[in-house]
Amino acid sequence: MTHFKPLALLLLCTGLLAAPAMAIEVPPPPAPTAPNAVNVGWMVFVPATITVPAGTTVTWTNADDSNHMIKFPDVKGPRMDKGATFSRTFTAPGEYPYQCGIHGARMTGTVIVK
């Protein structure tokens, strides 16, 4: 029966880690009304994937009470308070995945440039 102990520990730890995340239930922000815009919410980018033509400037707005940060592999924006914005112009076609510089892989998005 000792081989069940690691599993029990894992389940316990998973439960402990999941509990705080489950306690926070923040609805996602509305879709942005401006073109080429992304709203930043709690652990979510709306839209998570945005497709734009080359030469477009995309603007992120933090619509959440918590701070967030737009972080591409090559470009990192500032820590954004609620209402703060960050913009980046995409000149070359391609896929540009990014994540929150604070919340990491839990909070990701992609810009597709055609």
Positions touching Cu ion (CB under 5 A) are 68, 100, 102-103, 107
Min CB(80)–Cu ion separation in Å:
9
Give the Cα separation of 65 and 38 in Å (integer). Answer: 16
Nearest to 48 by CA among 111, 113, 4, 114: 111
CB of 81 to Cu ion, least distance (A): 12
Within 10 A of 79 (CB to CB), how many other CB atoms are there? 13
Q: Which is nearer to Cu ion, 56 or 86 (CB)?
A: 86
Least Å distance, CB 104 to Cu ion, is 8
Rounded to 5 degrees, what are φ and ψ at 105?
-65, -10
Q: Which is nearer to Cu ion, 58 or 107 (CB)?
A: 107
Cβ nearer to Cu ion, comparing 46 with 102:
102
Give helix then strand counts, H and E, for the chain.
1, 8
Chain position whose Cβ is nearest to Cu ion: 100
